[in-house]
Amino acid sequence: MHDFPRGSTATPTAVAVPPSLALPVIESSFPRRLHPYWPRLQERTRGWLLEKRLMPADKVAEYADGLCYTDLMAGYYLGAPDEVLQAIADYSAWFFVWDDRHDRDIVHGRAGAWRRLKDRLHTALDSPGDHLCHEDALVAGFADSVLRLYAFSPATWNARFARHFHAVIEAYDREFRNRTRGVVPGVAEYLELRRLTFAHRIWTDLLEPSAGLELPETVRRHPAYRRAALLSQEFAAWYNDLCSLPKELAGDEVHNLGISLITHEGLTLEEAILEIRRRVEYCIDEFVPAERDALRFADELADDGTVRGKELGTAVRACVGNMRNWFSSVYWFHHESGRYRVDSWDDRSTPPYVNNEAAGEK
């Protein structure tokens, strides 16, 4: 297992974290590790992006490694079989590309293109095998990544994943409508929507194939397991909002917790930043006792005297361990990835790694 407390390259270097974004407790108490498959993972995901035509070759060459998409997944799903981690990493890279297409469709007013893409993704999710050669590379890449993920789990897990991602697609559509109409959602509405656009349930679902076992509903819904999972995901979503606020203000976006707080709660920018940071720190503080409770639950499962109980206990322990890894992986990703280096872009509202064309509409 690779230990990279600072950075994720073969020769780690110190990453300068701005004081307003620094979380000393993460740096000291949540050690950052990477899956040993990571260097190969990075190479293969880069090749997959090219093969599936998800990014132009020049942008893959210049930006793919620096965006650190594989680092994020390699720091989260530790213990996953190599082929499972590869499928997750490719799916994650696709997710970021999709997010960029969604953003560009909004910026350029491509409502028709977005509606077609949304409908195609819903259809491809239900029958990925029929969409591997779709004319829109984003749809074909999605079908490929989903089909590979489905190969590792039983039909019940696959159906759950599909149900959860259908909800994510619809949440992206709600965000599309809000942004094109200039609607800033209220804080409560935004928090509910954010859990979907950040795909909380998807990343938690993927803990199971990484652990090699689908967890029964009684385990997934146990309060101890659910709370630890939710806190890890809320941390990630809110820390993302904190780090991406300058980028989203530059792009005249309306979907960010800080923007909702400023618009509906009357906070200044400085006060909104402090409030998001308070929520982020709450997640960290509360995760520690939640993690303890979840590990106790894993021990109870393992101690029931059955082979099945031992398997479940081991799987829950692996999932909870990776919930902890999510904190450090998310934290360092936001300071290593070129996705958030707004000040270095020629145009603060246009990421240099995106394709502004209406892809799939030829």
Determine which of 127-136, 236-245, 342-351, 353-362 has the lowest per-residue pLDDT on average.
353-362
pLDDT confidence tier of residue 7, bands split at 50, 70 and 90:
very low
Question: Last residue of some domain: 152, 175, 195?
Answer: 152
Q: Do residue 199 and residue 104 come from a single domain?
A: no
Q: Do residue 130 and residue 239 come from a single domain?
A: no
Q: Do residue 135 and residue 262 come from a single domain?
A: no
Q: What is the pLDDT of residue 357?
A: 65
Q: Do residue 136 and residue 191 come from a single domain?
A: no
Q: Determine the longest span between alpha carbons in the chain, in angstroms.
A: 62
Q: Do residue 207 and residue 331 come from a single domain?
A: yes
CATH of the domain at 307: 1.10.600.10
pLDDT confidence tier of residue 249, bands split at 50, 70 and 90:
confident
Q: Domain range holding 249?
A: 183-342
Q: Do residue 206 and residue 336 come from a single domain?
A: yes
3-state DSSP assignment of residue 349: coil
For the question of residue 177 being annotated catalytic, the response is no
Task: Let me know the angle formed at the C-alpha of 48 by 79 and 82, rounded to the nearest 5 degrees.
Answer: 15
**Count of structural domains, the chain:** 2
Question: Which two structure tokens, joined as six digits, stand for 174?
Answer: 């709600």
Expressed in angstroms, the distance from the first to the final Cα of the chain is 45
Q: Do residue 213 and residue 260 come from a single domain?
A: yes
- In total, the chain counts a number of residues equal to 362
- Dihedral sign, Cα of residue 287, residue 288, residue 293, residue 296: positive
The model carries a pTM of 0.93
Looking at residues 300-313, what average pLDDT do you find? Answer: 95
Q: Which of 46, 179, 195, 339 is catalytic?
A: 339
For the question of residue 30 being annotated catalytic, the response is no
Q: Which of 95, 161, 165, 287 is catalytic?
A: 95
Q: Do residue 187 and residue 115 come from a single domain?
A: no
Q: What is the pLDDT of residue 253?
A: 78
Q: Is residue 58 part of a domain?
A: yes
Looking at residues 320-325, what average pLDDT do you find? Answer: 98
Question: Which two structure tokens, joined as six digits, stand for 60?
Answer: 């893959």
Q: Do residue 82 and residue 194 come from a single domain?
A: no
For the question of residue 235 being annotated catalytic, the response is no
pLDDT, tens digit, 9 for 90 and up, residues 45-100: 999 999 999 999 999 999 999 999 999 999 999 999 999 999 999 999 999 999 99
For the question of residue 287 being annotated catalytic, the response is no
Question: Which two structure tokens, joined as six digits, stand for 68?
Answer: 């650190």
pLDDT confidence tier of residue 347, bands split at 50, 70 and 90:
confident
Q: Residue 2 forms beta bridges with which residues? A: 34
3-state DSSP assignment of residue 34: strand
3-state DSSP assignment of residue 212: coil
CB 165 within 8 A of CB 199: yes
The residue that leads in pLDDT, 242 or 343, is: 242
Residue 285 CA: distances (Å) to CA of 89, 233, 237: 29, 14, 16
- Helix%, strand%, coil% for the chain, nearest 5: 70, 0, 30
Q: Do residue 206 and residue 327 come from a single domain?
A: yes
User: Taking the CB of residue 122, how many other CB atoms lie within 10 A of it?
Assistant: 15
Q: What is the pLDDT of residue 360?
A: 44
Residue 232 CA: distances (Å) to CA of 91, 104, 147, 184, 335: 20, 29, 27, 25, 18
Q: Is residue 12 part of a domain?
A: no
Question: Which two structure tokens, joined as six digits, stand for 182?
Answer: 């200039």
pLDDT, tens digit, 9 for 90 and up, residues 106-143: 989 999 999 999 999 999 999 999 999 999 999 999 99
Q: Which of 142, 152, 176, 198 is catalytic?
A: 198
Q: Which of 33, 96, 174, 226 is catalytic?
A: 96
Q: Is residue 233 part of a domain?
A: yes
Q: Do residue 223 and residue 98 come from a single domain?
A: no
